[in-house]
Amino acid sequence: MKVLIFDTVTSAVEAVADRLAGKVAGKPDCVLGLATGGTVEPVYEALVARYEAGRVRFDQTHTFNLDEYVGLEPTHPMSYHSYMARHLFDRTDFRACNTHIPHGNAADPAAEADHYERLIKGRGGIDLQLLGVGENGHIGFNEPTSSLSSVTRLKTLAPETVRANSRYFEHQSDVPQVSITMGIATILQADEIALLATGSNKAKAVRDLIEGPLSAMCPASALQLHQKTEVYIDAEAAAELSLRDYYEAVHPGGKIGHP
């Protein structure tokens, strides 16, 4: 695991955007795994800026999002379909037929989850997966105590996740309780992973995911089993790391490479 600590949120975000854009430049028809949430919004903004400047194009790139709320129509403003359209897809040249998000409004959501897992495999798997992390250590909607071997399935959201998401909904009763999410094993099958976490509210989750123990109580700690994971964090999110000096010596300023 590469622990990359940046002075500012902006520099961490720019590094993640460079990582994604670099992957697409090197392999235009690559398969990206994408995430939603407040943390990755500026990453999409940075990708749109690179697209508008003519530095990257996405017309051959495939995407699979991590998750979607069960029960929301894709057109619902709080659905992850809407989020992705608003922040990335409608502002760039991604082709609709190449972008995939679970259908939370499927008549049979469990069958939709199985289908989604097969779709990912059928596409040859994910080349580079972008991740955020929840304050409770979730990745996707794999809440604490999720099986570390889980695949795409239905998952009931933890109360703290429902609370965190409620800021986006007008009425508490509208906040979805169930999601379709890639599983932890699904995520671990990605060739490469880039996780972004910023802000002091993520410091504990960042410590638990990097320094362990490996535990279903912190689903993101499963990334310790993955060979090519990079964790991009700002100074605030790095605050609780016990080996921070070591990480900063290995990757000064978040630069990849050995000193």
Active site residues: 67, 136, 138, 143
Site string for ligand PGA, 121-140 (x = CB under 6 A): -----------xxx---x--
| Residue 38 binds ligand PGA, judged by CB under 6 A | yes
Q: Which is nearer to ligand PGA, 76 or 115 (CB)?
A: 76
Give the nearest distance from C-beta 116 to ligand PGA in angstroms: 18
Q: Which is nearer to ligand PGA, 124 or 201 (CB)?
A: 201
Stretch that binds ligand PGA, among 32-40, 92-100, 148-156, 211-219 (CB under 6 A): 32-40
Q: Which is nearer to ligand PGA, 57 or 204 (CB)?
A: 204
CA-based nearest residue to 164, from 193, 194, 110, 205: 205
Give the nearest distance from C-beta 105 to ligand PGA in angstroms: 21
Q: Which is nearer to ligand PGA, 38 or 252 (CB)?
A: 38
| Residue 39 binds ligand PGA, judged by CB under 6 A | yes
Residue of this chain nearest to ligand PGA (CB atom): 37
Give the nearest distance from C-beta 41 to ligand PGA in angstroms: 8
Provide the pairing of β-strand 99-100 with 67-69. Answer: unpaired
| Residue 203 binds ligand PGA, judged by CB under 6 A | no
Among 11, 18, 25, 37, binds ligand PGA (CB under 6 A): 37
| Residue 229 binds ligand PGA, judged by CB under 6 A | no
Tokens linked to 114: 């199985």
Q: Please, what sign has the CA dihedral across residues 60, 114, 166, 206?
A: negative
Give the nearest distance from C-beta 132 to ligand PGA in angstroms: 3
| Residue 184 binds ligand PGA, judged by CB under 6 A | no
Give the nearest distance from C-beta 81 to ligand PGA in angstroms: 17
Q: Which is nearer to ligand PGA, 98 or 206 (CB)?
A: 206
For the chain, the three-class secondary structure string (H helix, E strand, C coil) is CEEEEECCHHHHHHHHHHHHHHHHHHCCCCEEEECCCCCCHHHHHHHHHHHHCCCCCCCCCEEEECEEECCCCCCCCCCHHHHHHHHCHHHCCCCHHHEECCCCCCCCHHHHHHHHHHHHHHCCCCCEEEECCCCCCCECCECCCCCCCCCCEEEECCHHHHHHHHHHCCCHHHCCCEEEECCHHHHHCCCEEEEEECCHHHHHHHHHHHHCCCECCEHHHHHHHCCCEEEEEECCCCCCCCCHHHHHHHCHHHCCCCC
Residues that bind ligand PGA (CB under 6 A): 37-39, 132-134, 138
